[in-house]
Chain A
Amino acid sequence: MATAIEVDSLSKKYRLGEFQAAYGTLRETLVHAGRRLAGREHHSAATEIWALQDVSFRVPEGQVLGVIGRNGAGKSTLLKILTRISHPTTGRAEIRGRVGSLLEVGTGFNQELTGRENIYLNGAILGMKRREIEGRFPDIVEFSGVERFIDTPVKRYSSGMYVRLAFAVAAHFEPEILLVDEVLAVGDAEFQARCLGRMEDLGNTGRTVLFVSHNMQAVAQLCNRAILLDGGRLVADGPSEEIVAHYLQTSAGAGSSRTWAEEEAPGDELVRLRSVRIVDVDGETVDYVDVRRPVGIELRFTVLDGGGPPVVPKIKVNTGGRVVFNAMDVDPRWHQPSLPGDYVATAWIPGNLLNEGLVGVDPAICSLDSPKLHHHVSVHEAVSFHVQDPAEGDSSRGRFTGQWRGVVRPLLEWTVR
């Protein structure tokens, strides 16, 4: 089968440091340039990071390829290069066919123009020819459901109408290759579901799709194949179920246990986090947790300096990019200045609280700097675990075994008269 996308040792370097704030004033640059000339300041290699490093893969025509990895692994950079918004530093890629991306939904819509005018404008921006837009115009209008307002400026539209119109244009643009970044896709849950639906349709009609997502279930379900990026490198490539499983188990995905070496331990001069893990009631490290059982988040940390403010361990629990809750230990012992030494604190999340799915935990050590909370340590999604419902009839889903929506899944007490 012909190759639709061919990526050959693609790398992208970004320079950090004083230029990290992407733009500055002319004066700042002149000052820095002057210092460099005077030999007092140098660009060091440490200020450069490789967002993408030697990534190669091929996507045959008609394949739906998932791209997964943690935040900062290089997924979005890869997509930006393939859509030609950004240039690679080295390497090359070839794309055979017209490229579209659902990133572009509503891009370039002009508030002052009418719905009709915006369809032409947006269509041209997406790469459609005028004749092509004219041919699809009736379909686009019908799909969007805004016929009555088609000659009204879009600034008078409700946000729902606006998104529907924008999506209608994007949906009627028929690229041979579709690039989707779910992470960046805007809009509400319903809209994201429509994007996924659209992607599935295109995949079923033999289009090539590159799908970047944090939603492992969607990747496993929609893609035939997946690649895993970590630190800008391609670390795994294979059938999507295998790669997703691999990602969830290895440290490339946030595993259920993480230990830092002495010199890498996150923290400041007051306190360092040594390790964090997910434990069951027997103290065993676990990846999968029964929805009905309590689960512990164990934080090991060292207080280095007894002279500082009292510190207190805290956790933040996230699912699907949303914060479920924050919790810190309220025991009075943390009100006294903490003595230097090692501590092991375990937070117990009760059973029948979290819903099924992947749960991420941000461990933190804080001190109250009234009225603010000062984070000495906070590691985003340091560990994660899966909540599973074995469907034995005694969780809040009862004997029902289908999808049970919600951020939490509490077991409630019911009174019946």
Chain B
Amino acid sequence: MVRAETTLEEERPTSGAADSGTNPQPAAATNGAVAAEADASRVTVIRPASRIPRLDIGELWHYRELLWTIVWRDVSVRYKQTFLGVAWAILVPAFTALVYVIVFGKFANFPAGSTPYPSLVVAGVLPMQYFASALSLASLSLLSNLPLVTKVYFPRTLLPLGGVMVPLVDFVVGLPVLLVLMWKYDTWPNGLKVFTAPLFMLLAVVTVLGLSLLLAAVNVRYRDVRYMIPVFLQVMPLLSGVMFAVDEIPTKWQWILSFNPMTSVIAGWRWAILDAAAPHPGQVAVSVSVALALFLIGLAIFRSSEPRFADTI
């Protein structure tokens, strides 16, 4: 028995992704008993798609190298054959913020609370920019990887998952814009709450992943998604409080906006990094619940339509 387990361990690293997708839909239910045998690690069971969608973490873990490879590919291709290269990751949020500052700060006098308006806007633009890139990339990921989807097996979840990871690189590269403003206005993070900033980004990742899983699955059948996304992304900054401080608007509206998780992401960021007013815990709770619900619904729809992707795409 001990020997058998050793062989199992030895085989895993050398045998490729294709093999141990090994009982993805598996086996566990009806003949899971044989799983103890070393040989079982190499058996692929093919059966009709299960009706109950679920996320197979084990299988995703098995395919992690492919996920990294896809992310690495998209990151390295992103700014190929551009003159300014990765500088775009700074220029895009910088210009967007500049336009907002002039239009909404100078002319429209949007409420900023205690925070300098440019810092406030940039702290909102960066997560929003991430949201926009990630949503476009991940929602169209099945279609942009068409040859893979129709020719090779791997958990399709990897594609939207990779899609929401790639723009994180842009996000990190864009952070110096915020640092410059923090230095200029001398607004520094106050205390340990700065460490909650990644958690708010995680909320953004979960939100965009849920939404992308949903849209990617729909897009296989209905190419309308491609045209919906830009429209949606135009109103998103307004609904997320990118150019104003949410705590300055009427309470009723604050609660309504909290159903958009990006509102809490941005308010949380401003609180964690710029020491702005703290977001209302109740509103954050609403946002987190909405994000989780969106993620679960998106995942369920994606997984249940996954078996038909190759046939309908």
B106 beta carbon closer than 8 Å to chain A = no
Given A112-B80, A130-B65, is A121 in contact with B47 using a C-beta cutoff of 8 Å? no
Chain B contacts with A in 216-232, Cβ cutoff 8 A: 220-224
Number of A interface residues at 8 Å Cβ cutoff, please give it.
51
Chain B residues whose CB sits within 8 angstroms of the CB of A29 once the complex forms: 222
Instruction: Indicate if the CB atoms of A110 and B73 lie closer than 8 Å.
Output: yes
Chain A contacts with B in 81-121, Cβ cutoff 8 A: 81-100, 103-104, 107-108, 110, 112-113, 117, 120-121
> How far, in angstroms, from A29 to B46 measured CA to CA in the complex?
31
Chain B residues whose CB sits within 8 angstroms of the CB of A117 once the complex forms: 73, 76
Chain A contacts with B in 285-323, Cβ cutoff 8 A: none
A22 beta carbon closer than 8 Å to chain B = yes
Instruction: Indicate if the CB atoms of B16 and A126 lie closer than 8 Å.
Output: yes
Across the interface, name the chain A residue whose C-beta is closest to B148: A108
Stretch from B1-9, B256-264, B278-286, B304-312 contacting the other chain: B304-312
Instruction: Kindly identify which residue among A80, A89, A128 contacts B16, using a CB–CB cutoff of 8 Å.
Output: A128
Instruction: Indicate if the CB atoms of A95 and B224 lie closer than 8 Å.
Output: no
Chain B residues whose CB sits within 8 angstroms of the CB of A89 once the complex forms: 48
Instruction: Indicate if the CB atoms of A127 and B42 lie closer than 8 Å.
Output: no
Instruction: Indicate if the CB atoms of B77 and A125 lie closer than 8 Å.
Output: no
> How far, in angstroms, from A337 to B16 measured CA to CA in the complex?
67
Chain B residues whose CB sits within 8 angstroms of the CB of A130 once the complex forms: 65
B185 beta carbon closer than 8 Å to chain A = no
Chain B residues whose CB sits within 8 angstroms of the CB of A173 once the complex forms: 16
Contact with A along B15-28 (1 / 0, CB 8 A): 11111010000000
Instruction: Indicate if the CB atoms of A104 and B151 lie closer than 8 Å.
Output: yes
Instruction: Indicate if the CB atoms of B19 and A131 lie closer than 8 Å.
Output: no
Instruction: Indicate if the CB atoms of A100 and B18 lie closer than 8 Å.
Output: yes
B293 beta carbon closer than 8 Å to chain A = no
> How far, in angstroms, from A175 to B313 measured CA to CA in the complex?
28
Q: Which secondary structure dominates chain B's binding surface?
A: helix
Contact with A along B184-205 (1 / 0, CB 8 A): 0000000000000000000000
Instruction: Indicate if the CB atoms of B311 and A22 lie closer than 8 Å.
Output: yes
A23 beta carbon closer than 8 Å to chain B = yes
Instruction: Indicate if the CB atoms of B310 and A88 lie closer than 8 Å.
Output: no
> How far, in angstroms, from A24 to B223 measured CA to CA in the complex?
8
A403 beta carbon closer than 8 Å to chain B = no
> How far, in angstroms, from A216 to B81 measured CA to CA in the complex?
48
Instruction: Kindly identify which residue among B19, B152, B220 contacts A23, using a CB–CB cutoff of 8 Å.
Output: B220
Given A85-B151, A120-B69, is A95 in contact with B43 using a C-beta cutoff of 8 Å? yes
> How far, in angstroms, from A114 to B155 measured CA to CA in the complex?
26
B169 beta carbon closer than 8 Å to chain A = no
> How far, in angstroms, from A10 to B47 measured CA to CA in the complex?
9
Instruction: Indicate if the CB atoms of A125 and B42 lie closer than 8 Å.
Output: no
> How far, in angstroms, from A29 to B312 measured CA to CA in the complex?
14
Across the interface, name the chain A residue whose C-beta is closest to B68: A124
Instruction: Indicate if the CB atoms of B44 and A95 lie closer than 8 Å.
Output: yes
Chain A residues whose CB sits within 8 angstroms of the CB of B95 once the complex forms: none
Contact with B along A125-162 (1 / 0, CB 8 A): 11111111000000000000000000001000000000
B94 beta carbon closer than 8 Å to chain A = no
B39 beta carbon closer than 8 Å to chain A = yes
B45 beta carbon closer than 8 Å to chain A = yes
Chain A to chain B contacts (Cβ below 8 Å), 7 pairs:
A86-B310, A87-B308, A94-B46, A104-B152, A107-B147, A126-B152, A130-B65
